[in-house]
Amino acid sequence: MPTNRTDERVIEADLPPFHPAQIKIASSDARYRVVSAGRRFGKGILGISAAFRYASRGAKCRWIAPSYASDSYQAGWRMATVLANQIPGVTVHLQKRQFDFSAVGGGWLQFRTAEEPDSLRGEGIDFVVFDEAAHVDNLENMWEQCVRPSLMDRRGDAWFISTPNGFNYFNNLYLRSREKADWASFQFPTSANPHIDASEIEELRASLPALVARQEIDAEFVQLAGALFKRQNIIVLETEPVGVSWVRSWDLAFTEKTTSDYTAGAKMGMTSDGTVVIADMVSGRMEWPDAVRCIANTARMDGTSVRQGIEVVSAQVGVLQTLLRDPLLLSHTFTPIEVHRDKLTRALPLVARSEQGKLAVVRGNWNQKFLDELCAFPESAHDDMVDACSGGMTLLTLPTGAINDRTISQIKVGANASPNRFRPTFTPRRLVTA
């Protein structure tokens, strides 16, 4: 990082005060720093502040998040924007996704995602932050083939900050400090952040499975595969229960490559006792036109009473728009499902139902493949069917806007049947027929 400038200027900005654990990380002299920290530790603001410090001194920096739709990217961009607005002369380029410090004698900070690894090749950089690094699926190849070479000519630094996600490549990076002097590893639980009330942490801990709490709160590396969902907790039904409102949630992937993800659609409902029932699963590798055709055909077979939900992430918005414009599907309901959290967090409501013995599947030829994926989650080769079920849980909580028998029973007819609390003396006119 350039520090030998003779015309350095002092740039002032109000940063949130760092707590002792953040200061320990920021004060390290290691070129590569791996931070395993619990949720709400303050990883994001620590990384953004470091990137601004580098960029203000002439460095070329990058912030890499798992995806554009992730909280990692969106929250990071918002924090960077707040800091940039305090510094006269710093320009925000929305199209380039870049903060330009050149007007104040500095460098730049670019925002990139793991969805576009080729955009990380080429120009040499001084500093890079992988935010939520444990949740970057192709972290090893991206680091070794794209990012690490870009640090060579300028001897750039790299930070990897994340909550753990099993024993994946992030764990390998965390262990490098045992053998290499220029690597440093840090591990802090959520409680290391003094701004988080202890009662909030304990309340969250009580709501999570023990292993998940150790990972998400204590920042421990644990093996979750086979620990979240157990086959003996899954009920198998012979037929679909009656009197259930059904939804179908779609997790999309547009490719037919043998190593790629699947498009999956889970038909789900909830019984009166709170049992979540997965009645059907559609899954396969499909290109865009085939995926749209599959969703349309499945919606027609499900009928108009089954709400269809589509994840609206990146190009997947186009699928929803295409389906909404199909005149043959005008009587069907298609609902967008926004995704802002990681896969494990989204699956926790389903985990809770399973632990309570309130997760069931209707017997079908798809059961074996689904249960194999479910019980290996979150470390299975593919998790598309689980993601579809997570979307289904979200869809089941969304209001339908429909009038049901209970709603009708609450409608009262007559003079001042439900007085207006803002105008107590107001009496509506009644329609009198001869």
By CB neighbour count within 10 A (0-12 exposed, 13-18 middle, 19+ buried), where does 103 fall? exposed
Rank 221-230, 234-243, 316-325 by mean pLDDT and report only the highest: 234-243
Name the nearest CA neighbour of 15 among 37, 45, 41. 45
Query: Which tokens go with 238?
Result: 């012979």
| Whether 276 contacts 229, CB under 8 Å | no
As a whole number of angstroms, the distance between CA 78 and CA 60 comes to: 20
Q: How far is CA 200 from CA 39, 187, 318, 354, in A?
A: 12, 20, 40, 24
CATH class label, 20-216? alpha beta
pLDDT of residue 370: 93
* Model confidence, pTM: 0.63
Q: Got the DSSP string for 287-298?
A: -HHHHHHHHHHH
Query: Which tokens go with 382?
Result: 């593919």
Is 321's pLDDT higher than 90? no
As a whole number of angstroms, the distance between CA 384 and CA 165 comes to: 17
As a whole number of angstroms, the distance between CA 89 and CA 106 comes to: 10
pLDDT of residue 338: 83
For 303-312, the pLDDT digits (tens) are 999 999 998 8
Is 429's pLDDT higher than 60? no
Confidence of residue 415 (pLDDT cuts 50, 70, 90): very low
pLDDT of residue 408: 36
How many CB atoms lie under 10 A from the CB of residue 263?
A: 25
For 248-257, the pLDDT digits (tens) are 999 988 665 5
Amino acid present at 32:
Y
As a whole number of angstroms, the distance between CA 224 and CA 168 comes to: 12
Q: What phi and psi, each to the nearest 5 degrees, are found at residue 183?
A: -110, 140
Four-point Cα dihedral 396, 400, 406, 410, nearest 10: 140
Q: Where are the domains of the chain?
A: 20-216, 231-397
As a whole number of angstroms, the distance between CA 217 and CA 219 comes to: 6
| Whether 328 contacts 267, CB under 8 Å | no
Place of tokens 């619990």: 38
Query: Which tokens go with 250?
Result: 């779609």
* Average pLDDT of the segment spanning 277-287: 93
Name the nearest CA neighbour of 72 among 29, 104, 115. 115
Is 183's pLDDT higher than 50? yes
Is 55's pLDDT higher than 70? yes
As a whole number of angstroms, the distance between CA 121 and CA 45 comes to: 26
DSSP, collapsed to helix, strand or coil, labels residue 94 as coil
The domain 231-397: what is its CATH number? 3.30.420.240
Distance from the Cα of residue 343 to its chain's centroid:
6
Query: Which tokens go with 338?
Result: 């926004």
Strands 98-100 and 108-113: antiparallel
pLDDT of residue 13: 59
